[in-house]
């Protein structure tokens, strides 16, 4: 009888033990010790149903960067990522992040957001809680001015205009240009900035066309441009990538054999084969990353893992760029224990990275141009 | 011991162990059968999964063959076309196939890669020498199929590529036919091959093209340029699956799916069959039912075994418990059992324990004596009450101190109720507390003032309940005399109450701040900030202050503490619990709080006052309609910027064209809409740092600090561009904005003069295109006239036809005929100013409505005069409602005084109105219309013209 009772008890204990082991195996995160680590709070809008695929790409790149960083630092203090992903208005993200920050003093850096409105809210949060803030996306520079806790890792539009002018002057010897732009917001803004910068620097803007984003057929306008052939020496294009191929083919057909310079925001290594045959005088500027993708082992390894993790077929500039930015942040946090130290380290930071030379000016904006002038030839980028 | 003896005396036998054994048997049975069932389930599932994988490999293979055969057939058909056409006429074949819905597009390349002919004429002449199709065609020289993703256009391309030879050697042409993926997937989905789950196709980069069974291809729809493509991960794949593929069908399983995939021959990519594990689960639902039945049987079997085992085990235990009861009743000194029994150890232990118990009773007596000494030696009054089942209280015992301090003499164990002892009033009073203690079942302390034989005294009494059988049977009372202490406390309380009354009812928030934390907060402070008092008293005061005001609050606190300047008064923003920002007038004075320096603060909520002040300030500087700055602010800013460091400053003057005309004719509501649209266009075009103001009805001006003339021109260009964008979207009420700008390059140039210059330039520009501006406005009105279509579909056209017919019969000049046609179209132009509810009314007009309607010839005349295109016929528009007998309006002209063209129009217009359906009545027949014209000839219409009109 005693054995039977004992058997019953042992059975119950065994069942409970099995449940406990399974719980530990499948839910280890309940037992992870985050409280002694330092936390990076990443505030992002959910845009996963658009081509931007954010925040998936950001999260994959950030997690790979953290994995690589912690691989050889088992004894150092842990760094933990906390993602706040929201939908709807940007203020929603701000309120969620604010509530989280009030309960979690271990957060020592903020990252976010994907658009200017969201970034403005994140910068506000950084100022209110005095936390260093790194932004990868917004080109709206006013957000960062007068906010010592906010830094932008985003290459600047004024750097883009500057490098276009540099290519025109130093490599093409061009003085008179025609600007062709799409009315898509991102491209239109850049075209306007270049127009102002070009006019100010004495460049002659012979003509300036703005086309709807869905326009492909430029033959009528090109016929007019042919009459101006003697009055300009190159094109500067701010067109969507699917417009670019048609434009190049059509000016080639019209016999307008002028050097063509396109903004680097649309061009990408995977797309170059589409332009082969009409790329004889195509120039652009690209992040230095693109020239390093085939050469750096770390980037190649990252590229493979990134594609596997995201499940998408092609590498893009965003993945390595985020990886690079987060690696910079960890490097700084390695020698800094609190928010003030991270902020001071970011303020004085200067180092060459995959993206280019990273350093910030007094407004927290990138102080050096990270673009490289290139020529597109036979489906490849050649540095000028 | 008492309850145990009682329980045993009633022969209640312990049954818990029996049930525990029974339940443990059931659980053991359940675990064993679940384990065996799990093994069986796993085995069956494994078999099912294996069967699915075998089946899916067959399906994948068959689909690939189907697809290969499909491409082969298509290719053969194409080749036969080219063969039939002969190698000299490939263009003809491409042209022929343009009509075929199989193909999205087709094109023909020459040997240099140039597009010779294409279904999309746009790409004829394009150079495709770099494209994969061309390179591969020349390399292989054979027809082939290529599935690729067109990166720049983000779409799938399934190319059927055919090299064409005119002579041996290299191909002379390459024909490319791009198969329509939607058509392909539809075709394949019709070819159902006993498949479950999803059949997917994707290329080697992992781009998913087709989901065949769901009849879907990617990307699709209008948003294909912006929507994201499905990723391999979405479909449970990893890129590594494709990279690791080595030949033949391969399978894998993840948390959700079972997948079989293989690479297709040629460049067709991969094909996969994916099935949800939940679908597979459907196949062995019967197994789960069988397992459930097994588990139930296991429970019953082991439950039966449990009952048998428990009964056999419990019999000696019951015999032994009878002996124990006898021993407790004194009938036995020891209990016994067989020496070999498993219970003999228990029996020995019980006997030893029973002897120990007797010893304990002796010890207890000694302790009782000691207790009596303590009980009567203490200075507090102690008493013991019995609580009966019916809730009566009886004094059982009391100590000597109680008799001495109360003057009540109570014989121990005399059992008197409080009412019997103290009289009905006092007795009831003390019983209330006894009842409360019994109700709570916990010790109860309270104060009471009682008039007793020894005098009126105040006591602190603690009652402690003693439980027996889940009920309070006794109360132990201990009372301490605190009469003197209470008197001192009462006088202190009265003093504090007076001050608290003042502070608690104050309409100001009053608090004491010490070490940066509130030490006291009155109810108004709690109400103002919305936090609990506890939260207020444990949080730094700066947390309730707006971050931007914290530094000044700290400074003022320091000043108050140091006593510098006496009482300090300042205005700061506070943040409430609901994150609301409140403006407060705060004053503070140094005080001592608990012997340490502190600040006594007084806070008044002035948020409403502040809001009103801000609203007044806003209204004094903003335009109410557009929200832009007004003239006053603009002038102030102009003064501020004059001679500042913000040079160069560009000034823009902008004027909304044709506003007065729109207001006069379409009403002020539409005019206001136009002003707001204009403001929006200007706002969007300017930089965020620029100052834009509405300085008059239709006048706007902007100050652009640090803005050179070239940048100003760019912005003016942007205004025109955005106005055009607006007009493309809102064609019903388009904008026309005249813009002038001037730049003050150096600080010496006055901004007022610069503004004047900009304004002059704007007016010069406006004058030079005045006629365009006016025509533009008239166009808007005609457009509005057509949109409202208040007369009826095609009315203008029909009237124009009748007029021209009658005009030709009269033999009037060509110039007059042109004017007549124009008049027929626009004679009711003045009706644009008449509200819709009158125009579309289904009942006859009232007198007031007629008055409004009758104004339309004059309104139309005013509009026409301002337009160069219509000025010639303005007089005709004015007179088109005059009657032959002089009873028309507005001038009452009669006979030949009415212009001929108006008399023609009157007949044509009336005839069409009568013979067409109206909102308020049906059309009459043409014959009836002709009769009506005859009836009104000589009154409303010119009789000679009516006669001519009615002649065939």
Residue B583, CB-side half-sphere exposure with 13 Å CA sphere: 11
From CA B514, how far away is CA B596, in angstroms rounded? 8
Query: Which residue of A lies nearest to B714 if distances are taken between CA atoms?
Result: A196
- 3-state SS track over B664-702: HHHCHHHHHHHHHHHHHHHHHHCCCCCEEEECCCCEEEE
The residue with tokens 């065996």 is B36
**Grouped pLDDT means (10 residues each) for chain B, 952 residues:** 45 61 79 78 75 82 84 84 68 66 83 86 87 85 82 75 80 85 79 72 73 70 58 72 79 82 82 80 66 77 79 73 79 76 78 78 81 82 89 86 81 78 86 91 89 84 89 90 81 81 85 90 90 88 90 86 73 90 88 87 87 80 88 90 88 86 73 90 86 91 90 85 80 79 89 90 69 56 60 68 87 77 80 75 80 86 73 86 91 90 91 78 86 92 92 76
The residue with tokens 């409403």 is B608
Query: Which residue of A lies nearest to B235 if distances are taken between CA atoms?
Result: A311
What pLDDT score was predicted for residue A174?
93
Q: At what angle do helices B900-914 and B795-810 cross, to 10 degrees?
A: 130
| Alpha carbon separation from B287 to A366, B49, B295, B298, B662 (Å, rounded) | 65, 14, 12, 16, 80
Closest CA to A135 of A147, A123, A148, A117: A123
For residue B675, give how far its alpha carbon lies from the nearest alpha carbon of chain A (Å). 25
Which residues, numbered 130 to 159 in chain A, qualify as contacts with chain B under a Cβ-Cβ cut-off of 8 Å? 142
What pLDDT score was predicted for residue B867?
67
Beta bridge mates, A50: B227
Which residues, numbered 226 to 265 in chain B, qualify as contacts with chain A under a Cβ-Cβ cut-off of 8 Å? 226-229, 231-234, 237-240
Best of B24, B107, B113 to substitute, by most chain A Cβ atoms within 10 angstroms, is B24
Element (H, E) at B933: helix B926-936
Q: Measured between beta carbons, which residues in chain A are less than 8 angstroms from residue B721? A: 210
Cβ atoms within 10 A of the Cβ of B761, count?
17
Query: Which residue of B lies nearest to A245 if distances are taken between CA atoms?
Result: B152
Cβ(B194)–Cβ(B59) below 8 Å: yes
What pLDDT score was predicted for residue A13?
62
* H helix runs in chain A, sequence order: 2-26, 56-71, 90-103, 116-129, 157-166, 185-200, 219-227, 241-253, 288-292, 297-310, 318-334, 339-347
CB A253 to CB B708 under 8 A? no
Cβ(B516)–Cβ(B498) below 8 Å: no
Q: What is this model's ipTM?
A: 0.79
3-state secondary structure of B828: coil
Tens of pLDDT, residue by residue over A294-330, are 777 777 778 778 877 776 656 566 788 888 889 889 8
Cβ(B787)–Cβ(B732) below 8 Å: yes
For residue A193, give how far its alpha carbon lies from the nearest alpha carbon of chain B (Å). 10
What pLDDT score was predicted for residue B781?
66
Q: Could you tell me the end-to-end alpha-carbon distance of chain A, in angstroms, rounded to an integer?
A: 91
CB A49 to CB B718 under 8 A? no
What pLDDT score was predicted for residue B791?
47
Query: Which residue of B lies nearest to A214 if distances are taken between CA atoms?
Result: B225
Length of chain A: 384
The answer for residues whose C-beta is within 8 angstroms of residue A241's C-beta and 6 or more apart is A266, A267, A268, A271, B151, B152
B151, B227, B312 ranked by CB distance to A274: nearest: B151
Which pair of tokens denotes residue B140? Answer: 């292989």
Cβ(B387)–Cβ(B408) below 8 Å: no
Average pLDDT over residues A119-130: 94
Task: Identify the band that residue A18 occupies on the pLDDT scale cut at 50, 70 and 90.
Answer: low
What pLDDT score was predicted for residue A83?
92
Closest CA to B197 of B234, B249, B235: B235
Q: Measured between beta carbons, which residues in chain B are less than 8 angstroms from residue A128? A: 547
CB B24 to CB A312 under 8 A? no
Q: Could you tell me the end-to-end alpha-carbon distance of chain B, in angstroms, rounded to an integer?
A: 131
Cβ(A328)–Cβ(A353) below 8 Å: yes
The model's pTM: 0.50
Which pair of tokens denotes residue B1? Answer: 């011991």
What pLDDT score was predicted for residue B9?
47
Tens of pLDDT, residue by residue over A82-101, are 999 998 788 889 999 999 99
What pLDDT score was predicted for residue B776?
61
**Which stretch of A106-120, A171-185, B670-684, B837-851 has the lowest confidence by average pLDDT?**
B837-851
Query: Which residue of A lies nearest to B237 if distances are taken between CA atoms?
Result: A311
Which pair of tokens denotes residue B868? Answer: 């160069």
Q: Measured between beta carbons, which residues in chain A are less than 8 angstroms from residue B126? A: 249, 253
From CA A124, how far away is CA A347, in angstroms rounded? 18
**Could you write out the DSSP letters of every residue in B204-224?**
TT--EEEETTTTEESS-SGGG
Calculate the CA dihedral of residues A306, A311, A312, A316 and round it to 10 degrees.
-20
Which pair of tokens denotes residue B653? Answer: 């003057």
CB A379 to CB B547 under 8 A? no
Q: Measured between beta carbons, which residues in chain B are less than 8 angstroms from residue A217? A: 122
User: Order of strands across the sheet with B257-263?
Assistant: B216-217, B208-211, B198-202, B270-276, B257-263, B250-253
Q: At what angle do helices A241-253 and A219-227 cross, to 10 degrees?
A: 50
3-state secondary structure of B835: coil
CB A242 to CB B721 under 8 A? no
CB B227 to CB A50 under 8 A? yes
SS3 helix, strand, coil % of chain B, rounded to 5?
A: 50, 20, 30
Q: Measured between beta carbons, which residues in chain A are less than 8 angstroms from residue B203? A: 313
Our CA angle for B909, B913, B915, nearest 5°, is 120
CB B130 to CB A1 under 8 A? no
B922 has a chain A CB within 8 A of its CB: no
Q: Which long-range contacts (CB under 8 A, 24 or more apart) does B458-463 make?
A: B458/B482, B458/B483, B458/B486, B459/B381, B461/B433, B463/B433, B463/B434, B463/B437
Closest CA to A58 of A311, A310, A346, A313: A310
From CA B402, how far away is CA B571, in angstroms rounded? 64
A5, A310, A313 ranked by CB distance to B21: nearest: A5
For residue A5, give how far its alpha carbon lies from the nearest alpha carbon of chain B (Å). 6
CB A273 to CB B130 under 8 A? yes
Which pair of tokens denotes residue A166? Answer: 């540099």
Which pair of tokens denotes residue B892? Answer: 């009452």
Best of B151, B305, B745 to substitute, by most chain A Cβ atoms within 10 angstroms, is B151
CB A276 to CB B129 under 8 A? yes
A53 has a chain B CB within 8 A of its CB: yes
For residue B233, give how far its alpha carbon lies from the nearest alpha carbon of chain A (Å). 5
A7, A49, A275 ranked by CB distance to B228: nearest: A49
B844 or A182, greater pLDDT: A182
Tens of pLDDT, residue by residue over A365-375, are 999 888 899 99
What pLDDT score was predicted for residue A192?
87
What is the biggest distance separating any 2 CA atoms in chain B, rounded to whole angstroms?
150
Our CA angle for B417, B419, B424, nearest 5°, is 170
Tens of pLDDT, residue by residue over A324-358, are 889 889 888 887 888 999 999 999 899 888 888 88
A12 has a chain B CB within 8 A of its CB: yes
Closest CA to A313 of B123, B451, B810, B235: B235
Our CA angle for B105, B106, B110, nearest 5°, is 145
Closest CA to B732 of B625, B821, B832, B823: B832
What pLDDT score was predicted for residue A41?
95
B112 has a chain A CB within 8 A of its CB: no
CB B231 to CB A312 under 8 A? yes
B299 or A209, greater pLDDT: A209
CB A8 to CB B129 under 8 A? no
A222 has a chain B CB within 8 A of its CB: no
B113 has a chain A CB within 8 A of its CB: yes
CB A311 to CB B113 under 8 A? no
CB A311 to CB B231 under 8 A? yes
**Could you write out the DSSP letters of every residue in A235-284?**
EEEE--HHHHHHHHHHHHHTT----EEE-TTT--GGGGGGGTTS-TTEEE
Cβ atoms within 10 A of the Cβ of B563, count?
12
């Amino acid at each position: 009888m005693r054995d039977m009772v004992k058997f019953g008890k042992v059975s119950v204990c065994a069942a409970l033990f099995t449940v406990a082991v399974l719980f530990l195996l499948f839910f280890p995160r309940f037992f992870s010790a985050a409280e002694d680590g330092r936390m990076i709070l990443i505030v992002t809008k959910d845009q996963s149903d658009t081509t931007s695929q954010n925040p998936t790409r950001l999260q994959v790149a950030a997690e790979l960067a953290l994995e690589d960083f912690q691989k050889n630092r088992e004894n150092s203090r842990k760094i933990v990522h906390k993602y706040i992903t929201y939908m709807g208005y940007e203020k929603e993200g701000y309120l969620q992040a604010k509530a989280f920050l009030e309960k979690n003093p271990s957060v020592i850096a903020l990252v976010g957001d994907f658009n200017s409105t969201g970034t403005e809210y994140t910068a506000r949060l950084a100022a209110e809680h005095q936390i260093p803030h790194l932004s990868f996306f917004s080109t709206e520079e006013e957000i960062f001015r007068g906010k010592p806790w906010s830094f932008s890792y985003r290459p600047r539009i004024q750097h883009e205009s500057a490098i276009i002018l540099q290519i025109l002057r130093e490599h093409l010897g061009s003085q008179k240009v025609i600007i062709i732009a799409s009315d898509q917001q991102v491209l239109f803004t850049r075209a306007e900035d270049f127009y102002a910068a070009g006019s100010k620097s004495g460049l002659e803007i012979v003509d300036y066309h703005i086309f709807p984003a869905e326009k492909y057929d430029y033959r009528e306008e090109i016929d007019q441009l042919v009459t101006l052939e003697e009055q300009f020496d190159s094109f500067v294009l701010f067109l969507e990538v699917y417009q670019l191929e048609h434009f190049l083919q059509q000016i080639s057909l019209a016999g307008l054999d002028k050097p063509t310079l396109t903004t680097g925001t649309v061009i990408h290594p995977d797309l170059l084969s589409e332009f082969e045959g009409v790329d004889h005088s195509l120039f652009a500027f690209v992040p230095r990353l693109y020239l390093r993708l085939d050469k750096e082992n770390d980037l190649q390894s990252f590229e493979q893992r990134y594609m596997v993790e995201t499940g998408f077929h092609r590498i893009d500039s965003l993945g390595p760029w985020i990886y690079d930015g987060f690696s910079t942040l960890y490097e700084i946090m390695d020698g800094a224990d609190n928010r003030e130290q991270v902020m001071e380290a970011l303020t004085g930071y200067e180092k060459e990275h995959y993206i280019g030379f990273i350093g910030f000016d007094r407004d927290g904006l990138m102080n050096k141009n990270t673009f490289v002038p290139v020529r597109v030839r036979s489906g490849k980028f050649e540095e000028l | 011991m008492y309850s145990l003896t009682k329980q045993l005396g009633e022969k209640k036998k312990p049954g818990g162990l029996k049930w525990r054994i029974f339940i443990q048997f059931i659980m053991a049975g359940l675990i064993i059968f679940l384990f065996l069932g799990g093994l069986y389930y796993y085995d069956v599932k494994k078999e099912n999964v294996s069967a699915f994988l075998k089946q899916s490999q067959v399906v994948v293979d068959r689909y690939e063959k189907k697809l290969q055969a499909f491409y082969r057939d298509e290719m053969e058909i194409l080749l036969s076309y080219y063969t039939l056409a002969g190698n000299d006429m490939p263009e003809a074949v491409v042209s022929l196939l343009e009509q075929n819905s199989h193909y999205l597009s087709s094109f023909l390349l020459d040997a240099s890669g140039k597009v010779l002919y294409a279904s999309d004429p746009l790409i004829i002449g394009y150079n495709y020498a770099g494209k994969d199709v061309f390179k591969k065609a020349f390399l292989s020289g054979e027809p082939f199929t290529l599935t690729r993703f067109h990166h720049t256009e983000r779409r799938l391309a399934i190319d059927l590529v055919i090299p064409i030879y005119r002579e041996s050697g290299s191909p002379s042409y390459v024909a490319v036919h791009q198969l329509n993926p939607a058509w392909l997937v539809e075709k394949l989905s019709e070819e159902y091959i006993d498949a479950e789950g999803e059949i997917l196709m994707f290329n080697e980069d992992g781009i998913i093209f087709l989901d065949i069974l769901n009849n879907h291809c990617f990307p699709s729809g209008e948003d294909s340029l912006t929507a994201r493509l499905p990723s391999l991960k979405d479909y449970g794949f990893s890129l590594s699956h494709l990279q690791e593929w080595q030949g033949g069908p391969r399978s894998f399983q993840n948390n959700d799916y079972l997948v079989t995939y293989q690479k297709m021959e040629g460049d067709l990519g991969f094909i996969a069959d994916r099935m949800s594990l939940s679908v597979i689960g459907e196949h062995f639902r019967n197994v789960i039912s069988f397992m459930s039945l097994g588990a139930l049987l296991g429970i019953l079997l082991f439950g039966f075994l449990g009952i048998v085992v428990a009964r056999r085990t419990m019999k000696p235990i019951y015999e032994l418990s009878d002996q124990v009861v006898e021993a407790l009743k004194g009938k036995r000194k020891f209990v016994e059992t067989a020496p070999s029994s498993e219970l003999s150890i228990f029996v020995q232990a019980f006997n030893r324990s029973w002897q120990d118990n007797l010893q304990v009773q002796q010890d207890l007596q000694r302790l009782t004596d000691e207790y009596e000494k303590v009980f009567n030696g203490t200075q507090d009054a102690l008493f013991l009450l019995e609580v009966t089942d019916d809730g009566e209280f009886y004094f059982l015992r009391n100590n000597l101190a109680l008799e001495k301090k109360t003057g009540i003499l109570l014989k121990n164990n005399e059992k008197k109720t409080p009412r019997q002892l103290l009289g009905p009033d006092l007795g009831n009073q003390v019983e209330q507390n006894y009842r409360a203690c019994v109700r709570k079942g916990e010790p109860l302390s309270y104060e009471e003032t009682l008039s007793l034989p020894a005098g009126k005294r105040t006591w602190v009494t603690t009652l402690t309940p003693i439980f027996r059988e889940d009920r309070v049977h006794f109360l132990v009372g201990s009372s301490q005399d605190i009469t003197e202490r209470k008197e001192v406390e009462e006088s202190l309380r009265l003093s504090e109450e007076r001050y608290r009354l003042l502070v608690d009812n104050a309409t100001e928030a009053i608090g004491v701040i010490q070490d940066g934390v509130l030490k006291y907060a009155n109810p108004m402070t709690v109400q103002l900030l919305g936090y609990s008092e506890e939260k207020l008293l444990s949080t730094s005061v700066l947390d309730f202050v707006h971050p931007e005001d914290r530094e000044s609050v700290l400074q003022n606190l320091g000043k108050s503490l140091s006593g510098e300047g006496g009482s300090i008064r300042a205005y700061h923003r506070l943040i409430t619990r609901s994150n609301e920002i409140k403006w407060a007038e705060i004053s503070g004075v140094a005080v001592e709080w608990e012997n340490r320096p502190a600040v006594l603060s007084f806070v008044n909520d002035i948020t409403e006052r502040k809001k009103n002040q801000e609203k007044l300030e806003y209204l004094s500087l903003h335009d109410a309609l557009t929200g832009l700055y007004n003239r006053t602010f603009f002038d102030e800013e102009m003064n501020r910027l004059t001679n500042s460091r913000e040079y160069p400053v560009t000034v823009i003057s902008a004027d909304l064209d044709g506003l007065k005309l729109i207001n006069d004719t379409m009403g002020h509501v539409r005019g206001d809409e136009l002003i707001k649209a204009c403001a929006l266009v200007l706002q969007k075009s300017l930089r965020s740092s620029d100052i834009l103001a509405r300085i008059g009805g239709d006048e706007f001006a902007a100050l652009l600090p640090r803005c050179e003339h070239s940048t100003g021109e760019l912005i003016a260009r942007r205004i025109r561009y955005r106005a055009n964008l607006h007009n493309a979207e809102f064609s019903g009420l388009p904008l026309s904005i005249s813009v002038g700008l001037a730049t003050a390059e150096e600080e010496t140039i006055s901004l007022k003069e610069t503004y004047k210059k900009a304004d002059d330039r704007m007016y010069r520009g406006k004058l030079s295109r005045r006629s365009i501006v006016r025509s533009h406005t008239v166009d808007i009105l005609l457009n509005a006239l057509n949109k409202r279509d208040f007369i009826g579909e095609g009315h203008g056209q029909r009237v124009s036809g009748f007029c021209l017919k009658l005009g030709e019969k009269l033999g009037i000049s060509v110039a007059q005929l042109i004017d007549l046609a124009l008049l027929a179209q626009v004679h009711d132009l003045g009706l644009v100013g008449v509200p819709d509810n009158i125009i579309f009314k289904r009942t006859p007009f009232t007198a007031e409505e007629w008055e409004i309607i009758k104004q339309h010839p004059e309104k139309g005349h005013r509009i026409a005069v301002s337009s160069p295109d219509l000025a010639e016929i303005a007089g005709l528009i004015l007179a088109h409602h005059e009657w032959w007998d002089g009873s028309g309006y507005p001038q009452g002209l009669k006979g030949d005084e009415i212009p001929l063209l108006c008399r023609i129009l009157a007949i044509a217009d009336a005839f069409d109105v009568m013979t067409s359906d109206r909102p308020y009545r049906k059309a009459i027949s043409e014959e009836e219309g002709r009769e009506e014209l005859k009836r009104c000839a000589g009154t409303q219409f010119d009789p000679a013209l009516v006669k001519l009109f009615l002649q065939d």
